[in-house]
Every structure is written in C-alpha cells, then in structure tokens.
Structure 1
Amino acid sequence: MNNFRQYEEAIALHHNGLSVKTAPVVCWDFHNEFLTSVKSFFLDLNKLDSIATKNKWVKNNWDLKNSLNDEVIIVTDSKLKIVFASHNIAKMNGYVEAEVLGKSPKMFQGEATNQITSNEIRRAILDQQPFEKTVMNYKKNGDIYACLIKGFPVFNIKGELSHYIAFEKAA
C-alpha cells in the first residue's frame, strides 16, 4: 500500500506544479450537450410510459429505449393527430415537438412525396395493420429527405384502437 501512497503524492505534486489548474470552458459545452441529451431521453421515455399507462395500451415488444436513441418516435391518436414526438425529431427534420403537436404527420409531406406510397400507408392505417415504408418528407427548412417509417396500430386492453406509433429515421 505504501507504493500507492507515494504514487498519489507524486501525482498531487505534479498537478500542483501545473500552471493551468482549471478545465477549459470548451469541455463544458460537450458535457452540457450530453446532459441535455440524457435528460431529453428520460423525459421522452416518461412521456411514452405515461401515454401507454393512461390509455391502457396492450403490452408490446417494442424496444423504446433503443428506439429513442436511434430513431424518432411519433405517436398519434386514433384520428392521426400527433400527441407525442421524441426530442430527436429536431435532428431529423428541424421541428420540435411543440410545433407538431395536434397536427397530422402529413405536414411532413409535399410535392416529392410518392402518392402511391402514401396511399399504401393510408390503406394500412385504415386496415389497422403495421407497415414499413420509405417516403420522401420535407424538413422545416424545405429540404427533402428519405424517411423510413415503421408504423403500428396500438390497442388498449379492451382491444380498441387507441393510438398509432411510428418509428422513423432518415434513410
């Protein structure tokens, strides 16, 4: 143990002799960005859990924790009005949750969106079936991006349609 004490004393002596004794301010930016990301992740997870609990969703096998890291999650009510959008939507298309709440996911579509694909998605929604499609969507600034959407109807414990959930990422 004596060697460890000598080592620690040597390290302390070395650090005390340095002219710079504080961390550069730049590193705090990275730390703040990381903390903001972690906080947003847990807020999103809690919101999703709250929506699921309040509406008594049937248990499913979605890995929401990994999806929140890698994808954008959008939840709509049964009338297709957005009730939740994960924080990372801003990275994908420039919108924040407050700007999309209460609106239809069609707000991301435009002239370049393939109508055949849109109709296939609409048919799956009407039939209450899951779907996986790539659509051309629009960012807030007007740029076009390919978006892979995996959509699922969500049912409550009574078997009634409650919501739709979509896992999206830029393709």
Structure 2
Amino acid sequence: MSTLHQYDSAIANYYNAMRVKTLPLYSFDFHHEYRKDLQNIFVDSVKLRAIAQDNKWVSNEWDLQEKLQEEVVIVTDAQLRIVFASQNMVKMNGYEVSEVLGKSPKIFQGEATNHIISKEIRLAIQSQQSFEKVVMNYKKDGSIYACTIKGFPVFNIKGELSHYIAFEKAA
C-alpha cells in the first residue's frame, strides 16, 4: 500500500507543478451558434413556402433548404420590392432583414457597381429571363464585396409573373 500512496503523491506533485490554467468551456457556444443557424434556416424555409403557397408559384427544381444554408435568398415582388430576405444576409452584408424589406435591391449598389452589368440584369428582368452575374455590392458599413447573383423570375399557376428570386453568394 505504501507504494500506491507514494505513486499518488508523486502524480499529485507532478500535476500541481505543471501550473495548468483552466479555461471556460466554449463548446456550448459552438452548439448554440449551430442551433441558431438551423433555427434560422427552418424559419426562412417556412416563410418561403408560405410566400410560394399564397402566390400559387409553379413548382420548381430549387432545393431551398440547401440554398438557405449556403446562400442568401432574396425574393422581390414583380415591382422589385424586397418581400423576403433570408436571415443569413446579416453575415454577408450586415443588413438586418427588417432594414431591406420593402426596398429595392439597389440598396446594395453604389459607385463601384458596374453599370453595364446592372443594365444586363435590368434587361433580363424586363424580359423575364433568368441571369447569373457577379456584381460589386456594398455592405451596410460601406465596404465593397463581390457578389454572385443567380436571379430567376417566378410564375404563378396562371403563367403570370409573380416574383423574382435571387440566390446570392459572396464571390
């Protein structure tokens, strides 16, 4: 027994001499952020489905669940007023959803935005065609970022233009 006691004493002395500092556990913060992201995706997908059902959108091939995870989704009405923006927009450009609802997507544009590309997007929208462009947009704090935008017209079951949907990702 005395060797076991000596062993315990030696181990205790060894660990006491290490001067290890304890740190708080942060894994709960990671879990909280992940859970919050999942919750935002769920809330956004419910809102998008409601818009689609209320306006009788023709079904499409988009995997909105995946798009909401990886990209910012913005929906405008036919007059190009934002009616939906996914909550992950805050990460990309700093704008809260409530700050952009009812406004035009031009809110993200400025001097560095290429006017030729803007005109090409405008022509695609006027002719109700889909488009994919890289645009220089502005964050809420005024900094510039390149944004890949894939825009699509959305039609209702009568074949009438209902909305536009854009999937955006920082390039």
Cα distance in 2 between the residues matched to 1:44 and 1:165: 14
**1:1-35 CA distances to partner (integer Å, 9 max, x unpaired)?**
xxxxxxxxxxxxxxxxxxxxxxx542221121111
Alignment partners' CA distance in 2, 1:70 and 1:50: 21
| Corresponding position of 2:162 | 162
Q: Distance in 2 between matches of 1:83 and 1:25?
A: 40
1:46 alignment partner, SS class: helix
Is 2:80 aligned against 1:80?
Answer: yes
Distance in 2 (CA, whole Å) between partners of 1:148 and 1:71 is 10
Q: How much has 1:65 moved relative to structure 2? A: 1.1
TM-score by length of 1: 0.85
RMSD: 0.8
Deviations 1:17-74 (A, max 9, x none): xxxxxxx542221121111111101000000000000000001111111111111000
Q: Which amino acid aligns with 2:123?
A: R
Distance 1:168 1:114 in 2: 17
Q: Distance in 2 between matches of 1:74 and 1:36?
A: 20
Q: Which runs of 4+ in 1 moved over 4 A?
A: none
**Equivalent residues in 2 for 1:34-73, closer than 5 Å:** 34-73=34-73
Q: Counterpart in 1 of 2:128?
A: 128
In structure 1, runs of 5+ residues without a counterpart are 1-23
Number of residue-to-residue matches in the alignment: 148
Distance 1:62 1:26 in 2: 36
